[in-house]
Amino acid sequence: MLKQHVYIFVSLALIGVFMTACDAYALDDIQPIDAVPLDLAVTDATSAGAARTGVYNELQDETLTFDGYVASYCYFSDDSDWTGTFPTRAQFDNYNVLPSNTTMEAVWADYYDVINTANNLLSVLPEVDDPSLSDELRNNYLAEARFGRAIAYFHLVTGWGGVPIVTTPTVGVGEELNVPASSAEEVYSLIIEDATFAADNLSAASLGMNPAAANALLARVALMQDRFSDAGNFAQIALDLTADSFDLTDYAYLEDELFYLEFSSTDGQSNAFFFGASGIGASRYSIAPSAKLISSYEEGDERFALSIDTSSAAVPFGIKYDDFTAAAGSQSDPIYFFRAAEQVLILAEVAGRNGDFDEAERYLNQVRVRAGLEPRTDLDEGNFLDAVLQERYVELAMEGGFRLWDMRRTGRAESTFGALYESCDDVWPYPQNNIDTNTALERNSACNS
């Protein structure tokens, strides 16, 4: 079955195990990583399983589910527009993100919470002596921690460029918190190392992370680094792990997930609250599909009606997160991390870059035919990249950073996003309070500083 997701509902008993083991935030505002006790009280297979749940819980943080994984990237491109009242979010829409931006600061801190939770488990688990903790199970738990850490570092490096690399638990409040920024290349190297371990060791014992998703991340990283041959190889592995003979048209739109986080009414998020137009449930309408995105869908593209509602309210609004009847914080929409369509479009781009336009058309048309569009038969050296980027734009709209990543990696951000976007906007500034508290961290951007 294609769909690989994680549904986290932690029983009170497991919460007790984890929170007793990791009183995670007793020391506030220690940056870049909140200090936590090293002793996770992981002593056997049961407590190890409970502790790894903490990595998923941190990935589900409410700040990350909206501002981190989705909104900040979408505002900072021609994907979506800010329509709300929070001035810190408006800065992303206006390409004017200041170091003092508290939304950015919270996102940064929560990514490092994921990393620190993973580091704690990675530190103590190898020493646990329990006959019921087989090597396969132990390695799966380690793989889940490393994959969670890789996801967090991917978002950090694509947002800020080179960032501090921390691979051991932060347990004090002294000089160990003064960590200089590593280069983007070094951050990507750690992501590759972690994702490779995850691809090799994730098993059925996982709460949802899986080898296909780990290979999908490796493909995405390779694409970001212009390692096109590697990108194609990893994308193909991800699809091969999904089906013996993969065909995207066998799966409905948005049901081709390789890995996503799923929520419930008791453990929910708020994306529909922010995307919904006023009068649709209790929505705030803080983010809207841009006019450019709306006009980019071809006539007859079935994805449009599954992504954007233009008739239920006075304004168009996104419906990829559509649990509008639930209250903010209790909405159950999934957060899509990796979908097969992304991997198919990676293969289309790689084929085009290799000059194999028949193959590029074969992959591109899987996406188009599923969307109810006519297949393309005209790809060549001059138009294949535009065609792929167009499909990525409408296929992956409002799901995260895809549009921003694509324009940055192809050198098109300034020409595409307009005069407000400058070359120094290719990274966001480090949060000011991190610079103030981490004496080894220096400013990374001349924009808006």
* pLDDT tens figures, 386-430: 999 999 999 999 999 999 999 999 999 999 999 999 999 999 999
Res 264: pLDDT: 82
What is the rounded distance in angstroms from the CA atom of residue 316 to the CA atom of residue 333?
19
Alpha-carbon span 396 to 341, nearest angstrom: 8
259 phi, psi to nearest 5 deg: -160, 130
- Encode 389-409: b = buried (16+ Cβ within 10 Å), e = exposed: bebbbbbbbbbbbbbbbbbbe
pLDDT beyond 70 at 293: yes
pLDDT of 171 strictly over 80: no
The stretch 237-261 carries a mean pLDDT of: 95
**How many C-beta atoms lie closer than 10 Å to residue 426's C-beta?**
17
Nearest to 218 by CA among 151, 164, 166: 151
**With left for phi above 0 and alpha for psi between -120 and 50, is residue 161 left, alpha or beta?**
left
Predicted pLDDT of residue 7: 42
pLDDT band at 449 (very low <50, low <70, confident <90, very high): low
The string of pLDDT tens digits covering residues 325-354 is 999 989 999 999 999 999 999 999 999 999
- Judge whether 352 and 308 are in contact, CB under 8 Å: no
pLDDT at site 175? 54
Residues of the chain with pLDDT > 90, as a percent, come to 83
Q: What is the mean pLDDT of the chain?
A: 90
- Within 8 A by CB and 6+ apart from 172, the residues are 35
Ramachandran category for residue 281: left, alpha or beta (phi over 0 → left; psi -120 to 50 → alpha): left
How far from chain centre, in Å, is Cα 297?
24
- Residue-level pLDDT at 9: 37
The residue that leads in pLDDT, 11 or 6, is: 6
Give the span between the Cα atoms of 290 and 272, in whole angstroms.
17
Work out the number of other CB atoms within 10 angstroms of the CB of residue 9.
11
Cα dihedral 204/207/209/210 (nearest 10): 10
Other Cβ atoms closer than 10 A to 246: 19
Average pLDDT of the residues in 217-239: 98
Cα distance between the two ends of the chain: 49
C-alpha to C-alpha distance for 123 and 40, rounded to whole angstroms: 9
User: What is the model's pLDDT at position 262?
Assistant: 85
Q: Residue type at 87?
A: P
